[in-house]
Amino acid sequence: MKLFNEILNDESGATAIEYGLIAALIAVACITALTAVGNSLSNTFDEVDTSLAGATA
């Protein structure tokens, strides 16, 4: 019974799981932010391309 209670009270793996969850959240936030920046940058380059195409015509 004592061994069973020690296993239930062991929290050494909880820290690793928490760090894993934090890393996953940071990764999701980075992917979301970079996707938004990429779309914005793509739109900017499209506008520049359109402006340059109109200037040379």
- One-character DSSP codes across 27-55: HHHHHHHHHHHHHHHHHHHHHHHHHHHHH
pLDDT for the residue 2: 85
**pLDDT band, residue 11 (cuts 50/70/90):** confident
Residue 6 reports pLDDT greater than 90: no
- Cα angle 33, 20, 38; round to 5: 15
* Pairwise CA distance, residues 20 & 11, whole Å: 15
pLDDT in tens, 13-54: 778 888 999 999 999 999 999 999 999 999 999 999 999 988
Residue 1 reports pLDDT greater than 70: yes
What pTM did the predictor assign?
0.59
